[in-house]
Amino acid sequence: MICSWKMLPVCLLLAAMCLQGSLLQEAGTRHQRKPFFERFRRLEEQFRRFQEVTLLRLQGIAGNYNISYNIDTRFQYLADQYDTVAAALNVSHAALQEDLGSLKTWMKKLQRRTKKLSTLLSNLTLQTAGHMADLTALRASRNTLQKELESQRETSRSQGTKLEALEQQLKNMLHKEVLASGHHELAVAQRLNQTPQDKLPEAGGSQGQNRRPSPRPPARSSPMCSGQAVTVAFSLPSPVCNVDSMLLFPNASTENLATFGQGFQTGLHELSVCSWVSTHARSLGTILSYATEENDNKLVLHGRNTAALASIHFVIGDPAFQELPVGQLLDGRWHHMCVIWSSIQGKYWFYVDRRLASTGSKFQEGYEIPPGGSLVLGQEQDVVGGGFDPSEAFVGRLAGFAIWNRTLMPGEVSSIAIGKGLPRGTILRLADVSSLNGSIQKVNCTCLEHCL
């Protein structure tokens, strides 16, 4: 038989079994021959033992072979597995190397950043310390300021009391003066027609020049209106003519206004504004306002029904203004008024019914009222040609309104007031009004009694 390498254990077993079979056959035939058999039996016995041992050995070899075969396969398997693991390890090692590389660069970056941050932090600490020092200094200065304010308040309080006392004294003096001047005023009124301008009483001189704190100052009643003379009964001669025409402003609508096509053609260093006025209103309102792009109150004669009712503001180049007494105009009857100003020494005069009601100097000395603005009757402009306020509107009648670019003499003022016509040099009159808006009515009337 042919035994392949793999069948080797099986072959060995078969060989052993054949050998045993032939030995048993021989034992049966030679049973009688005792000594021989005896020897033969011993031999046989030995052989069987040898056979068993051999068989055992063969079996051991076969088992060992199986074990070694198994080990081989196992080894191969293990080797394969080792390769796989090694490859996997290689891959993971490579990945690890990569990770380590990026980790290193990241660490470097982090270090750099940390360095920067720490410098910044130290910088910040320094700056904070500086700010703290500043704050401390600021607190200290605030404290001193507070102390100063406190002392200032104290002084102003004491000055306030002094001022009050002074005001009381002044009031008393004024009262006495008013009582004393009753007769004097009568005499002045009689002399007024002959008084040349340069000898006018500077009664209001002490009033000086008021400064406007804001375009809309609060009501301010001054006890120092020395120019506001005691009322002396004045009646216009009848009839008063040469009036030309009259404008009726029926109500406080801001649509009621009269405008002149052109304002002033040249800059004004002197001016006189005169008009007959009749109103039942509580305040006079705005007679005229003259606004330019630069200043909406270049020349204004305005009162409002919420402020001091018995006075109007005579503004030239806001914020400069003078307060003029108009209480006697508010009785619904016709009165004649003239406002006269000169930039020379800033003198001004306010006449009511030929009488000087207020005067003063140093009011916009050297000032020029610029040309080219918008001149409006009856409304106060807050912007050129607009921004009207009904509380500042004029309600009533204006007759014979006119403006001169010079100062009128007292005689000229009187002659207008008694109806002898307008003196030379008017630059604007009611006839020059270019448009009437709202419900204004214009009436041609030569004599006042017909201006209704």
Ligand X SMILES: *[C@@H]1O[C@H](CO)[C@@H](O)[C@H](O)[C@H]1NC(C)=O
CA atoms within 13 A on the CB side of 101: 6
Q: Tell me the site size for ligand X, rule CB under 6 A.
A: 25
| Site for ligand X contains 298 (CB under 6 A) | no
Min separation Cβ 398 and ligand X, Å:
16
DSSP string, 74-135: HHHHHHHHHHHHHHHHHHHHHHHHHHHHHHHHHHHHHHHHHHHHHHHHHHHHHHHHHHHHHH
Binder among 92, 158, 172, 435 for ligand X (CB under 6 A): 435
User: What is the rounded CA–CA span in Å between residue 398 and residue 448?
Assistant: 11
| Site for ligand X contains 437 (CB under 6 A) | yes
Residue 384 phi/psi, 5-degree rounding, is -60, 115
Min separation Cβ 152 and ligand X, Å:
38
| Site for ligand X contains 343 (CB under 6 A) | no
Min separation Cβ 250 and ligand X, Å:
5
Binder among 275, 358, 359, 405 for ligand X (CB under 6 A): 405
| Site for ligand X contains 13 (CB under 6 A) | no
Binder among 215, 319, 327, 385 for ligand X (CB under 6 A): 385
Query: Restricting to residues 25-84, which ones interact with ligand X according to CB under 6 A?
Result: 62-63, 66, 70
| Site for ligand X contains 427 (CB under 6 A) | yes
Binder among 207, 210, 228, 253 for ligand X (CB under 6 A): 253
DSSP string, 292-339: -SS-TTSEEEE--TTS-TTEEEEEESTTBEEEEE-GGGTTSS-EEEEE
Binder among 120, 166, 344, 383 for ligand X (CB under 6 A): 120
| Site for ligand X contains 119 (CB under 6 A) | yes
Min separation Cβ 316 and ligand X, Å:
16
From residue 206, alpha-carbon distances to 168, 172, 228, 363 in Å are 18, 17, 12, 12
Measured CA angle at 197 (ends 196, 203), to 5 deg: 110
User: What is the rounded CA–CA span in Å between residue 374 and residue 262?
Assistant: 7
Nearer to ligand X, 76 or 144 (CB): 76
Min separation Cβ 201 and ligand X, Å:
25
| Contact criterion met (CB below 8 Å) for 414 and 240 | no
Q: How many residues does the chain have?
A: 452
Nearer to ligand X, 50 or 69 (CB): 69
E-strand ranges in 183-269 read 245-249, 257-260
Q: Which residues bind ligand X (CB under 6 A)?
A: 62-63, 66, 70, 86-87, 90, 94, 119-120, 123, 250-253, 265, 385-386, 405-406, 427, 435, 437, 439, 444
